[in-house]
Amino acid sequence: MSKLILLTGLGLLLNAHLGCAYQLMCYFNNWAQHRPDLGSMTPDDIDPCLCTHLIYAFARISNNRITMTDKKDLTDYKAFNSLKRRNSQLKTLMAIGCWNSGTAAPFITMLSTTKNRQTFIVSVIQFLRQYGFDGLNLAWQYPGCHGSTPKDKHRFTVLVQELRGAFEKEAIKNKKPRLMVTATVIGIISTIQSGYEIPQLSQFLDYIQVMTYDLHGSWDGYTGENSPLYKSPSDTGTKAYHNIDYIMESWKKKGAVAEKLIVGFPAFGHTFILSDSSKTGIGAPANRGGHPGPYTKKTGLWAYYEICTFLKNGATWAWNAPQRVPYAYKGQEWVGYDNVKSFFLKAQWLKQNNYGGAMIWAIDMDDFTGSFCKQGNFPLTSTLKKALSVHNASCRETALPASRSRNGSSSSGAV
């Protein structure tokens, strides 16, 4: 009986810890610094008072060990983790990611044997402690498919369990706070079923960041929202699964603890080239992705600040009321995206459903200089911070240098 009381007490303490505040986890792309002009962002441009966690993307695996992707990463690691001097409560994580059969090969090899996993885990602890990170983010999007075998579904669970155990032992041995372990997971239902042992992962992971975006894109052959909160009235069959509400409820029903689930918020939109410029609504025929943005230079994708430029250049803006997100079009260009209004509405929904917080991909795609949207610096991230009541009284907020910020006044414009 005393053991049961102790376990119950620990469970209550855990729930109290998880429920005490919402998390705001912000990804930073290490390649963002290579974008031109005002699109270029370095760790020095990050406001450390915005987020509870900053996640550096990405490290890679070589010979079953975690390693940096570029020698310049050493400088970035130092700048990234020095942000904690201005926010004593900020936590930083290193993401290690793979998203297709090519990049997944080292991950699959590492998972395949106990020896390989232990080599990886030892290297992770050394790496995180050496460079000052507080935890590891596993960003493997397709365990059990896309070049990975069905056995990897369970092996991924075993890796998480082994990481958690090793982190706990290391913390006790060295009398340091335990390193965190989180996972960024896919939102597509078929991948959820084939890739994750959800109850077990929920037990050993500190948080589960769900990619509730990339739900529609040029691959569909018709226009659709990148990250709709709800399904469209026209959605039938599996299309009805491609929305935040359904995805997050599925993770919860399959055994994930709601307070550990982190909802994905995209600071970008997916673009389309309309097949017929007279048809501009949701589901309009589209034959390919939109033209690359001037800064991100990706076909079919624009950062939020690039979308603001599109709107200022005469695009027609529309609010998709059933799905709680906007879209815009001009000529044959069409984009489905998120703005300040949709971020606020989604944050309210998040709180009503008792999820653990929000994850933004990525902070460097927000209008971090305030130069494009006239909503101040980091308008999307700031909206989440306010809506989720993320606050640290000891945090020292700093503005970007004048050369990096222009026209940063507030605006209520419909962007």
Domain boundaries, the chain: 21-266+338-404
Q: How many residues appear in the chain?
A: 415
pLDDT tens-digit map of 151-199 = 999 999 999 999 999 999 999 999 999 999 999 999 888 788 888 999 9
Q: Rounded to whole angstroms, how far apart are CA atoms 307 and 340?
A: 13
How much is the mean pLDDT over the chain? 90
DSSP symbols for 239-286 = GGG-SHHHHHHHHHHTT--GGGEEEEEESEEEEEEESSTT--STT-BE
pLDDT digits (tens, 9 = 90+) for 108-148: 999 999 999 999 999 999 999 999 999 999 998 777 666 78
Whether 376 and 370 have beta carbons less than 8 Å apart is answered as: yes
The model's pTM is 0.92
**CA nearest to 345, candidates 304, 384, 374:** 384
Q: CA 152 to CA 415: how far, in whole Å?
A: 42
Measured CA to CA in angstroms, residue 140 lies from 59, 123, 198, 400 at distances of 12, 18, 15, 33
Q: What is the pLDDT of residues 246-304, one digit of tens each?
A: 999 999 999 999 999 999 999 999 999 999 999 999 999 999 999 999 999 999 999 99
Query: Cα separations (Å) of 199 from 106, 155, 202, 251, 256?
Result: 26, 14, 5, 9, 6
The values of phi and psi at residue 370, to 5°, are 70, 15
- Say yes or no: domain 21-266+338-404 is CATH 3.40.50.720: no
Distance (Å, rounded) from C-alpha 273 to C-alpha 271? 7
